[in-house]
Structure 1
Amino acid sequence: MSITAAMVKELRETSGAGMMDCKAALKETGGDMEAAIDWLRTKGLAKAAKKAGRVAADGLVGVAANGNVAAVIELNSETDFVARNEVFQKLVQDVAGVAVGLEGDVEALKAAPFPGSEKNVEEEIKDAVATIGENMTLRRSARLAVEKGVVASYVHSAAAEGLGKIGVLVALESAGDADKLQALGRQVAMHVAATNPMALNTEELDPAAVERERTVYMEQARESGKPENIIEKMVEGRLRKFYEEVTLVKQSFVINPDLTVEQAVEEAAKDAGTEIKLAGFVRFALGEGIEKEETDFAAEVAAAAGN
């Protein structure tokens, strides 16, 4: 497979490694971008690639809550201009409100009745497309609920009430004071918005992601030339550090870095005189996982001019 300049550029932007190293990595891995990143990491030339690296899409993330239940949705548009449109904002708020009563399935949400209308959510979005003149996609939906306790929320880069670029839900199970739980939950939600943990705890981590890290650490350790039993200990130590970095409960709490999130919740439980369980979280960042086609504006102008 021939390695193109565009491939080298993409790997360089994703990994932060040098151009020649990126070219070598792509040659070594036959052009496989993910394998090339791992190759660079093994050589100590790149950090772990962040999934959201170059992705982008416009629109809004919307959050709605009703006591111990809350939902978050993502409604995409073609431009950021539409995200500032009051009609579009009201649409996102209404769809998020509908999502509170469902189980988080986006297809069920599309088929659900839209409030104050004889149409369903999907039909209402199609009407908005015709009115606003820009394509829209209801991309995803999630919902958290607890029997006792609260589901707190936080919206980052807020454009209006419950609308922004990042939406987070945090579920706390407890018989404690609802206002205090909401305050704690909001702090944890702000932490999640800032740190983007991969999972709540080690048990919920994707086994494939853990195995990938283990493989990279193993290759790095073997290059040190140390005995196999020492290598195994080195790898286990690196994995423990990985768990501390990517699982919510083990992360250093951004509000009080002297504590982990798990310890902060335990401290709050002591103050409240009752148990508090961090039951789950959801984080939607606008456009993550969507590759927006990049165009060469100068080339487009030249083409339009017939050059």
Structure 2
Amino acid sequence: MKKITIEDIKKLREKTNAGLMEVKKALQKAEGDFEKAIKWLREKGLANAAKKSDRVAAEGAIFILNKENKVVILELNSETDFVAVNKLFIDFGNKISQYIINTDFKEKSLEEFRKTIFDGEKIDEKIASLTTKLGEKISLRRFDLFDVENYQFSTYLHVNKKIGVIVIAKNVEKDLLKDIAMQIAAMNPEYLSLKDVPNDKKEEEYKIARKDLKDTLKGKPENIQEKIISGKVNKVLSDLILEEQTFVKDNSKKIKQLLSKNAKLISFIRYEVGEGIEKKIENFKDEVMKQIKNKE
């Protein structure tokens, strides 16, 4: 068996980012063979990641990257905010975003994407390895890639990387488009325009309004009732529709009133970290202790 030196351990740590004791054990198991040691660490990482797979990863960060005529938005999740600001986590999110743009994965599903080879390994294996290194479940939740060759676009990424926005348009003044991206981040619209609202959503809001206004509608003519109900429904929907929203920087105007005759908003997307994921509630002390244990 080859004698394992400090230099061997140092070299393998630099190559894998694994812990000191794990590296030493891997070299011992592999009898000093570097390739076998790396394979052992990788397999151990996959096993450890599998144990963490049932955990809830509802924290994390949003990544936005644009290059030439493409722009990508991506959500990478972790279990805690501590890991979400870790350099390894941030670097991985940036590298994956770059990879998506370079390989044009616009038409691929997330499942297909996870199975692709990135830097010598499947992306799923990369995520498993990162899970082991950081001691928390890491999850690539979603991404969207846009080709903006014939359009304008603006992006907004909140300072804490928890909310990200891409808005695509034509003939909209640059600063205004930037303001609209911030509007989307702050006001969280669901639809671009009234025509984008599904009929079942309109019908649902109509039923809710009629029920809520039951006492107000009593004794009033049918045409007056319809006006009252429509007014309430329009108010509710206007908060959900970007073009109908009141501009946050000037509440005397709606977004659509800011657009010139030839200007048009084409589409938008808004990501918020963890939205729709049921989070496990932990107090701050427990979260800190969890981080300490993960580092031991």
Distance 2:193 2:213 in 1: 26
Q: What is the TM-score with the length of structure 2 in the denominator?
A: 0.68
Distance 2:57 2:120 in 1: 34
RMSD: 2.6
Of 231-240 and 190-199, deviating more is 231-240
Q: Match of 1:76?
A: 77
Q: Match of 1:276?
A: 263
Q: Which residue among 162, 167, 170 is the counterpart of 1:170?
A: 167
Distance 2:230 2:82 in 1: 48
Q: Is the 8 A contact 1:144 1:151 kept in 2?
A: no
- Alignment length (residue pairs): 225
Distance 1:157 1:124 in 2: 27
- 1:42-191 residue pairs with structure 2 within 5 A? 57-100=58-101, 101-103=104-106, 105-114=109-118, 117-158=119-160, 164-174=161-171, 181=174, 183-191=175-183
Q: Which amino acid aligns with 2:163?
A: I
Q: Match of 2:279?
A: 292
Q: Which amino acid aligns with 1:121?
A: I
Q: Cα gap change, 1:200/1:85 in structure 2, threshold over 3 Å: closer, same or farther?
A: same
Distance 1:132 1:264 in 2: 47
Gaps of 5+ in 2: 1-55, 285-296
SS of equivalent to 2:227: helix
Q: Which amino acid aligns with 1:220?
A: D
Q: Which amino acid aligns with 1:240?
A: N
Q: Which amino acid aligns with 1:192?
A: I
Distance 2:189 2:243 in 1: 9
Q: Is the 8 A contact 2:57 2:138 kept in 1?
A: no
Distance 1:68 1:220 in 2: 48
Asked if residue 221 in structure 1 is aligned to residue 202 in structure 2, the reply is no
CA deviation map 1:229-261 (0-9, x unaligned): 322111111122223211001111223333222
Identical-residue share of aligned pairs (%):
30
SS of equivalent to 2:95: helix
Q: Cα gap change, 1:142/1:130 in structure 2, threshold over 3 Å: closer, same or farther?
A: same
Q: Is the 8 A contact 2:163 2:270 kept in 1?
A: yes
Gaps of 5+ in 1: 1-54, 159-163, 270-274, 298-307
Distance 1:184 1:68 in 2: 21
Q: Is the 8 A contact 1:200 1:281 kept in 2?
A: yes
Off by >4 Å, runs of 4+ in structure 1: none
CA deviation map 1:47-82 (0-9, x unaligned): xxxxxxxx9921111111124421211111011100
Q: Cα gap change, 1:216/1:184 in structure 2, threshold over 3 Å: closer, same or farther?
A: same
Asked if residue 233 in structure 1 is aligned to residue 236 in structure 2, the reply is no
SS of equivalent to 1:151: strand
The structure having more radius of gyration, on CA atoms, is 2
